[in-house]
């Protein structure tokens, strides 16, 4: 394999490889290209690689297409691991680590990369950088596997990723911190230099601590969400407004206002699986993580509270037409992994309701949720409906002409699952309106 170009005494210009061109891998590669690095992305999904080579972006992520087009000359997409290794020095691993049936993280894709590396071989200049979210202990396991397979000369770092889908480019380029766990200082030095142009604080630590920073961060944010959701549920019982309560709490700098939005629970590809994986990791190590058990349970129940609210207004749901507005797990993404809409739709169908849905980007395939009628617009979804649920607070949906939507419904019940709408305004329009943990407008609370 070729050595990287070295220029006299100037620091080596690292070339970047990325294994896995999904939400994280693609954003990582494209952003590093925008920082001036040559990047080669390798995926095993032939259709994805063909699409990328064709200039198509396989995911919806705001701004990604534009940067990909700008940086096209620095970006190479390939199915070949050998080619990627040949063209790179620092190799990010960004394969998926979905949950197994036991709730542990499935590391089969990570380990298959190690298997492949053994076959293809790698040079001493290569550093593997784990961006995938992996349980504490994975880095040590991968290190031992590499050593046992004659790849002890290959470096290894843990470098968890904290980007949010929907804001991934900005998050990658302006991170609150870059966390680097390493077994050898020289590898951490090279990775820190790669990130240096971002000017972000760098936390250098051991591999297990870096791995734990990621899990602990996601678990804490998920805990904040489940906490405010429980406060919202109590607010409904005692006549307080969770939006005011969250605002008041957030003004306290020790608490902060982020992740204090009550709603119908968290979903997505990270929080549910990472919280569960941390809980299992603790359990496997002999510690029962009680708090996370509750965080998970509260989140599961929160999605179902909407069904209770609908029943309160409609009686039974058999034969009732319910419109779901928004399907993605959050706005500005097409990611449907663990989306609350999937649980809601399945529950509604099981109750005998007819479910119509609209999302500006996502189209639920019939295989995924058999029985949901996909509509072309919010107007089409709610026309003739007995109730509507705002599931994902896409700006375009929130900005709908709610008076027109209300007028087109058979019975104007509106559940705001994201507290994105004004209860007073919605009630004035004529909806039987409910948010999550909000005081009904007719109670007449001053704003």
Residues serving a catalytic function are 270
Residue nearest to ligand NAD (CB): 22
107 binds ligand NAD (CB under 6 A): no
**What's the closest the beta carbon of residue 2 comes to ligand NAD, in angstroms?**
22
114 binds ligand NAD (CB under 6 A): no
Q: Which residues contact 198 (CB under 8 A, 6 or more apart)?
A: 35, 173, 174, 175, 178
Q: Cα dist. 287→214, 279, 328, 381 in Å? A: 19, 9, 34, 47
Count residues contacting ligand NAD (CB under 6 A)?
27
**What's the closest the beta carbon of residue 6 comes to ligand NAD, in angstroms?**
28
**What's the closest the beta carbon of residue 253 comes to ligand NAD, in angstroms?**
27
Q: In what order do the strands lie in the sheet with 16-19?
A: 75-78, 39-42, 16-19, 90-93, 127-130, 155-158, 178-182, 202-205
Q: Which residues contact 405 (CB under 8 A, 6 or more apart)?
A: 378, 379, 382, 388
Selected from 95, 157, 178, 328, the binder of ligand NAD by CB under 6 A is 95
Q: Considering beta carbons, is residue 94 or 188 the nearer one to ligand NAD?
A: 94
Looking only at residues 135 through 154 of this chain, which bind ligand NAD when binding is defined by CB under 6 A? Answer: none
Binding region for ligand NAD (CB under 6 A) out of 129-137, 182-190, 307-315, 369-377: 129-137
- Cβ neighbours around 3 below 10 Å, total: 9
Binding region for ligand NAD (CB under 6 A) out of 95-103, 238-246, 340-348, 360-368: 95-103
435 binds ligand NAD (CB under 6 A): no
- Sign of the torsion formed by the C-alpha atoms of 23, 221, 188 and 141: negative
44 binds ligand NAD (CB under 6 A): yes
Looking only at residues 246 through 275 of this chain, which bind ligand NAD when binding is defined by CB under 6 A? Answer: 269-270
What mask, x for binding ligand NAD by CB under 6 A, covers residues 167 to 186?
--------------------
Contact call for residues 187 and 152 (beta carbons, < 8 A): no
Q: Considering beta carbons, is residue 135 or 326 the nearer one to ligand NAD?
A: 135
H runs (alpha helix) in 315-377: 340-350
For the chain, give percent helix, strand, coil, nearest 5. Answer: 45, 15, 45
**What's the closest the beta carbon of residue 9 comes to ligand NAD, in angstroms?**
36
Q: Considering beta carbons, is residue 47 or 238 the nearer one to ligand NAD?
A: 47
**What's the closest the beta carbon of residue 338 comes to ligand NAD, in angstroms?**
11
Selected from 45, 86, 106, 422, the binder of ligand NAD by CB under 6 A is 45
What mask, x for binding ligand NAD by CB under 6 A, covers residues 355 to 394?
----------------------------------------
434 binds ligand NAD (CB under 6 A): no
Selected from 30, 113, 222, 356, the binder of ligand NAD by CB under 6 A is 113
Q: Tokens standing for 83?
A: 């080619």
State the angle between helix axes of 108-120 and 138-148 in degrees (0 to 180), rounded to the nearest 10.
20
Let me know the angle formed at the C-alpha of 274 by 268 and 277, rounded to the nearest 5 degrees: 135
What mask, x for binding ligand NAD by CB under 6 A, covers residues 8 to 37?
-----------xxxxxxx------------
**CA 307 to CA 158: how far, in whole Å?**
42
Binding region for ligand NAD (CB under 6 A) out of 108-116, 183-191, 194-202, 437-445: 108-116
φ/ψ of 45, rounded to 5, equals: -85, 105
Q: Which residue's entry shows tokens 């005011």?
A: 244
**CA 298 to CA 130: how far, in whole Å?**
31
133 binds ligand NAD (CB under 6 A): yes
Selected from 132, 299, 340, 392, the binder of ligand NAD by CB under 6 A is 132
Q: Tokens standing for 2?
A: 């070729």
Q: Where are the beta strands (DSSP E) in 369-437?
A: 373-374, 387-390, 413-416, 432-434
**Applying CB under 6 A, which residues contact ligand NAD?**
19-25, 42-45, 48, 94-97, 109, 112-113, 131-133, 161, 163, 165, 269-270
């Amino acid at each position: 394999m070729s050595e990287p170009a070295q220029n006299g005494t100037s620091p080596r210009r690292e070339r970047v490889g990325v294994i896995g061109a999904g939400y994280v891998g693609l954003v990582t590669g494209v952003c590093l290209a925008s920082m001036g690095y040559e990047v080669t992305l390798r995926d095993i999904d032939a259709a994805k690689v063909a699409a990328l080579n064709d200039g198509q972006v396989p995911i919806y992520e705001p701004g990604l297409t534009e940067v990909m087009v700008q940086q096209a000359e620095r970006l190479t997409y390939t199915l070949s691991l050998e080619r990627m290794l040949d063209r790179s020095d620092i190799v990010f691993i960004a394969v998926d680590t979905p949950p197994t049936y036991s709730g542990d993280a499935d590391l089969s894709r990570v380990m298959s990369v190690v298997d492949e590396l053994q076959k293809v071989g790698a040079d001493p200049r290569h550093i593997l950088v784990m961006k995938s979210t992996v349980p504490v202990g994975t880095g040590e396991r991968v290190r031992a596997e590499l050593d046992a397979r004659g790849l002890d000369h290959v470096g290894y770092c843990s470098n968890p990723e904290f980007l949010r889908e929907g804001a991934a480019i900005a998050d990658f380029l302006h991170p609150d911190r870059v966390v680097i766990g390493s077994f050898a200082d020289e590898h951490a030095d090279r990775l820190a230099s790669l990130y240096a142009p971002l000017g972000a604080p760098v936390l250098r630590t051991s591999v297990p601590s870096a791995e734990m920073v990621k899990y602990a961060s996601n678990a804490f944010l998920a805990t904040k969400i489940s906490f405010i959701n429980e406060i919202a549920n109590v607010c409904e019982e005692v006549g307080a407004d969770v939006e005011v309560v969250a605002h008041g709490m957030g003004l306290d700098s020790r608490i902060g206002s982020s992740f204090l939005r009550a709603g119908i629970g968290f979903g997505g590809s990270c929080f549910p699986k990472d919280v569960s994986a941390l809980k299992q990791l603790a359990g496997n190590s002999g510690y029962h993580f009680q708090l996370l058990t509750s965080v998970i349970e509260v989140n599961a129940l929160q999605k179902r509270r909407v069904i209770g609210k609908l029943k309160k207004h409609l009686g039974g749901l058999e034969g009732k037409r319910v419109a779901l507005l928004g399907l993605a797990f959050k706005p500005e993404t097409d990611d449907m992994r663990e989306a609350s809409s999937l649980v809601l739709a399945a529950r509604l169908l099981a109750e005998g309701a007819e479910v119509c849905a609209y999302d500006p980007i996502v189209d639920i395939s019939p295989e995924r949720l058999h029985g949901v009628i996909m509509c072309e617009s919010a107007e089409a979804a709610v026309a003739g409906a007995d109730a509507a649920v705002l599931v994902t607070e896409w700006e375009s949906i929130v900005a709908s002409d709610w008076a027109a939507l209300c007028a087109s419904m058979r019975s104007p019940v509106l559940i705001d699952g994201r507290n994105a709408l004004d209860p007073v305004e919605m009630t004035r329009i004529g909806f039987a309106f409910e948010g999550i943990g909000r005081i009904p407008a007719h109670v007449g609370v001053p704003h």
